[in-house]
Chains A and B, each alone.
Chain A
Amino acid sequence: MSVIVLLIVAGGAVAAGFLGAFVWAVRSGQFDDMCTPAVRMLFDGGATRRPAPAIVAQMSATSGTTRFAGATPQDDEPRAGALADGVERLRTDVDRNRVDVSGEFGRCL
């Protein structure tokens, strides 16, 4: 029967681990806004943060889908194609999710 003691210790440790994770999540603000993240996850690729400089250089060299502040806005054919594709994909995503999104909003706002 002494194996139960072992189980209790193991079970308690797991439970305490989850409690710790929950405490961390609350204190780091993950429960502050229960609304916007649900909407944000639907965006395809729109980074909300400025990428580190190295990544910026790499991205502007390889992919044409992003343009950064400071870049002169002017026509650029290969980029236009990639961007149009991205917009199209995002639009279908959003169309598919529109009902859900507005439902989410009704709850939040």
Chain B
Amino acid sequence: MLGQLTIGERQAALAMLVVLAVVGLAMAAAGHDDPLGGQGAIVIIAALAGIFGLISVYYQPAPAAERLERYYDDPTKAGIVIAMIWAVIGLFVGDWVAWLLVNPDLTFDAAWSSFGRIRPVHTTAVIFGFGGNALIATSLYVLQRTSRARLPDQLSPWFVVYGYNLFCILAVTGYLAGITQSKEYAEPEWYADFWLVVVWLVYFSIYLRTLARRKEPHIYVANWYYMAFILVVAVLHIVNNLAVPVSLGSAKSYSLFSGVQDAMTQWWYGHNAVAFFLTAGFLGMMYYYLPKRAGRPIFSYRMSIISFWGITFFYMWAGSHHLHYTALPHWVQTLGMTFSVMLLVPSWASAANALLTLNGAWHKVRDDATLRFMMVAAVFYGLSTFEGSFMAIRSVNSLSHYTDWTVGHVHAGALGWVAMITFGSIYASVPWLWKREAMYSARLVEAHFWLAVAGTVVYVFAMWNSGIIQGLMWRTYNESGTLAYSFVDSLVAMHPYYIARAVGGLLFLIGALLGCYNIWMTIRTAPRAADEPVSGRPDSVLAGTPALQPGE
């Protein structure tokens, strides 16, 4: 794969990896009596692995010039494989922490294995490891097809894939060693945050440079979403992670903001990590893979415009609904609630646009589990955005907040929407990328689909039940006017649901393992065909949308 790099790119990559190794050495030296030292060692190992990988191809002949006539998909292939690996890691750790709440003594008297340290390993591995790699991989694929242009160079996409995964590895190993900012979904410390900004700038530059080379006058709707994902996540990440490190030899930093301002900034970040990482990016995925797989153009161009700008504008106001009835000023809570409710309009417009696109292709949904993954994803997207707007209403939130209902809601979105649309898109693109007729086994895709649906439904129903019971028990008064239940009473009532949740998670994990096997066998066994040339004319399916037709 790396053999496609030109001689100049190989030299540049080698130079960067040597610099990275030196940085790792400096971290290890400066942090020799701090957890930062261990992180430095990981950076050194990663740099050395990269150097060995490059040396093995260094003396291969330079790639032929005709490669420039084709799309560059090697980083996408790597990204998809890595995403599946992270999916298995993240789902496994998630199920493990679920069982920890059933049996808390599974920790072997070790620090690294307690719930508080491995729970962020689960969230980071699934959101950033699985979701992030899938977004990067698919965005590079979609960007080239919808622009009818090859990526501007071959080094920068590899920089992004490699650098982004280094960030993920630093993050999860850091948590195990006790390095965390304790801000949800923004746990990585200052040095990892800084590195991610560098990677992100390169990622965005690939987007702009490819768009500058595009042969398609209009930027396709999927790319609006991918661009909003990249841009807004950059803004959120930088603002929420502003911090002062204890020293350059310490992994620890103190957040610039405190108390109520920090809480608002954190949930402005937290909710929009959901909006722009877990929604906008994956809507970009949906707007390409769903019409392509169904062979139908997007139902309505105007609905996609309304929902895109609605999501981009409304979501950024919604974060304060995480802080109802807290010390956050009332007016901010009210604004957050109002915009969360309005958000239902663009959200349902997106979901409806996806489902209406399937009109005329429902027989394919019946027969093709890959397309069914995408259809069910759109349904869960509609369900969980409705639930989200509902839970953002202050009086509903007084019951749901702090309970498992929130956990159930998040997983309806994460398993039902994000993971399903990703699996559908991956099953669609693996045969395209590796030039195969179809996936190795359609029956395994079918089995994966039903395991994923069953796992999600079991999980979400368990958490709805436990969350609502919990919330009601906390506020129940007996006849004498005192609280009827102790906290421990509510904890005991959760036990059966915690078992059910862990079983649901296990089903989902087994499905992902089947997916890995199926993808692996597809890559390994089926016959090869020629690479895909840069297209000379607009895509016939996507061009069915008015977006790509002249004049209106």
Check if A and B associate: no
